Amino acid sequence: MLIASISLFAYEYFFVKSDSALSNKRRLKLLGIGGIVALHWFFFYHSIKTSTISVALVCLSSSALFTSFLSPIFNKKKEISLVDLIIGLVIIIGIILIFSFETKYTEGIIYGLLASLFATIFTILNEIEVKGLKASTIGKYEMLGGFIGISIYMLLTNSQHPYQMQISSSDLMYLIILGTVCTALAYVMGVAVMKELSAYTVVLTTNLEPVYGIILAVIIFGKKELMTAGFYQGAAIILLAVFVYPFVKTYFKHRY
């Protein structure tokens, strides 16, 4: 997150007009949202540690359910979309099915659902913030806020934390690529698209990650990532809901 933040600060310094008009209150808010992003990543990677990549990715699909409930609250809307609610309930069925078959991964599933919840929160907040700010400005402060949050956590947990590692010189290049291209660029593009799309639509799009993520996990890590038939049944229900949603939403929009 530090590398991502530095790269975005550098980008704005050389290529974008100054954000001096941004109030300190707004900056603090963005830093706070960055802390939520850090919580999402922490729980996501902890879910992988305590279960598998496939389990963690499928849990992220529950963000559609969280968004259907939380988006109207954050945006101060009185009504919850019936279509969004139904799709969310179908996703719950898929998650319950996974829970019933993958009891040994209960801890990982819980962490995965927490990661999904925090992903939903920062996505909705970014939908609000992006209306008056550049995506790169949002990204640089949120990445910095995430870095600060993680740093404070690491200091409080001292040096015995299992996630600490020694970085070799050969790893530095990959970290720079991960921080600039895979984090800063990808995050800014994800924020920028919310100028045109709602948080719910963006969440559904990111829910395609389990499709290629699970396939890549099996290819790269082999049998370790193979799950029970019940897991794939539950995952299929979740992904079907994600794919069907745009068509159902469009149908009801034109009919009513």
What's the pLDDT tens digit per position in 71-128?
A: 888 887 767 677 877 887 887 788 788 777 767 888 998 999 999 999 999 999 998 8
> Is residue 16 one of the residues assigned to a domain?
no
Give residue 238's domain range: 2-11+23-156+170-255
Residue 19 has pLDDT above 80, yes or no: no
Residue 199 or residue 23, greater confidence: 23
> Is residue 165 one of the residues assigned to a domain?
no
Average pLDDT, the chain: 82
Residue 207 or residue 232, greater confidence: 232
Rounded distance between C-alpha atoms, residue 75 and residue 160, angstroms? 41
Residue 147 has pLDDT above 90, yes or no: yes
> Is residue 18 one of the residues assigned to a domain?
no
Q: What is the pLDDT of residue 121?
A: 94
> Is residue 17 one of the residues assigned to a domain?
no
The backbone torsions φ and ψ at residue 228, rounded to the nearest 5 degrees and listed phi first, read: -75, 165
Residue 159 has pLDDT above 80, yes or no: no
| Entry pTM | 0.81
Which residue type occupies 43?
A: F
212 near 239, Cβ under 8 Å? no
> Is residue 152 one of the residues assigned to a domain?
yes
> Is residue 162 one of the residues assigned to a domain?
no
Rounded distance between C-alpha atoms, residue 43 and residue 22, angstroms? 31
Rounded distance between C-alpha atoms, residue 201 and residue 246, angstroms? 8
Convert 199-231 to b/e letters by CB count within 10 Å (16 or more is b): bbbbbbebbeebeebbeebbeeeeeebebeeeb
**How many Cβ atoms are within 10 Å of 176's Cβ, its own excluded?**
13
Residue 254 has pLDDT above 70, yes or no: no
Residue 162 or residue 133, greater confidence: 133
Which residue type occupies 212?
A: Y
Domain total of the chain: 1
Q: What is the pLDDT of residue 162?
A: 52
> Is residue 161 one of the residues assigned to a domain?
no
56 near 44, Cβ under 8 Å? yes
Distances (CA, A) of 146 to 48, 97, 107, 150, 248: 20, 33, 24, 6, 36
pLDDT band at 18 (very low <50, low <70, confident <90, very high): low
